[in-house]
Structure 1
Amino acid sequence: MFKFFSRLMRVRPAPGKPAAGLALLAFVGATLLASPTVAQSTEGEPIIWDARRLSTLERNVRRIERALFQRNSSGQPFIMEPDPEVVALQGQMGSVDTRLSDVERTLQRMNGDIERLTFALDETERENTQLRRQLTDAEARIAELESAARLEAELNAPIEPNSPSGTAGGDLRAADRLMAQDNRRGARAYEVLLVTWPDAPEARLAAVRLADLYLADDAAAAVPLYAQALSGWPTEPWAAKATVDLAQALVATDRNTQACAALTDFNRRYAETAPAALKTRATSVRTGAGCR
């Protein structure tokens, strides 16, 4: 049967005949294949389409074609109605096309929604990152403020006797280390040492170091500390410099007479063994105080 249809596909319309003859030829051929004449072959035995059989088939098709043309010419056209199954399939295909168009529009709408959601998510992530950064900064600032508040509470608390090490020498060394890290806490440690060990030699050193810290910015606070350290005119190496520093603090607080008296004690007690630079400085302070 396939050989027959391939033969039919090669047929060309004769000159002067419409191309619709080909469709007619195919229809007639299919009809003949399904006709009882073909069915007369032995069931299951294949049909051998030789030249004679094909020639006979072609003559029969041409006779039918001429009859149909004559019928059309006489006003009784032959109309081939479409196959109902084909019509049904065409309707189904139209429905499928409509549904595919609906699905395509839905997908486009979903893609747009996804793009908007992605943009919103990115914006939210950026805002969250900024908020986390601000929160971290705020937490750091709060911790800094809390630390400053604890320090202020510690520094402003009443000074009471307290010995972290149990000895005046240990407390002085601890205060020196603390001074190297934080001068406010170091000053506080010196003040605690002064009230804890008032009669110890380490108390004199603590007073001098505390006075040195105040000399530049608060000479009035430095004066009593130098006086406390120099009480009895000690002979330790630091005493000579402390005496000149005391005179400088007295000049800064407009007590020139007392400054001159301190410089007189310096010349009598410490000038002989004092370094040349310290003597020069003492002379400068004396000039500033107007000593005779």
Structure 2
Amino acid sequence: MTARSLLIATIAAFALVGQAAAQDVGGSRRLDQLEKQVRELRAIVFQGRDTGQPVEVRPAGPDPAVTALEQRFDGVDETIRQIKGQSEELTHETEESRQSVAAMHDQNGQLQAQLKDLGDRVARLEAQLAPSAGAGAPPPPPPSNIPPPPVDATAAAQAADTGRLGGPSSAPGAPPATAATASDAYRAARAQLTAGDYAGAANGFQDYLTRYPSAKNTPEAYYWLGESDYAREDYQDATPAYARALKGWPKLPWSPDATVKLARALAETNRTPEACAALAEFDHRYHTVASPTVKARAEAVRSRAKCGA
């Protein structure tokens, strides 16, 4: 059979099938497919006629290149979906972190406000207690021929030591101290002060300073000794303790507080000039770094001692 005959027979066959398919539901779609196949067969037949080569009809199927491209597109879509999911998770985590930071800022602001309010309340209470601490007859005015107050108020305060500081150890014959036993003794005295055992704390710090006079925290130990005496209103002994702590006017966190309390102790023991000199040193050395509470206490002592009047 020639190619022409084959083509005619094929067309006729597909025409008959097409007519039958057109009568079915959805026949129009099937007819379009048949017409496409007829065109393909026709092209194949004419190709064989023109070239004289055998006609090879391959089964219809998807183009491999198209299939590979579709797979690549599918892979890209999946990657995009994954990236989108990760981006949404990161956005959610970032929002949670931002909310946590904002909550922390709010809590910090509230805490600062509470601390300020507490400091103000303490300052007001101390200001109210300052006049009553020395209730009774006011101290006599200083004589007109009194010499000017010393520039270094701590030197005068140290000179007023009752002999308690630097005296013999309360436990003579104790074994040589080690760094561990010194640290234990210091912590024990601090624990007594924290627990409100001011007399025990004073004895503990006094013994510590006698045993370890060269310890690196000696100024702090003198400060806590002064605090132990000050809490019991033992201003006579608190004065030299604070003065020893402030020797050289150190720039430590407790220095402003110790200076004001030294001035208060001096004023309460009728040493007004020295008290005013201590307040002058406070203004010169610590006023810019002191807290509002300490500044308020300084003003209360200044008013009590009538400094500058």
TM-score by length of 2: 0.40
Larger radius of gyration: 1
TM-score by length of 1: 0.43
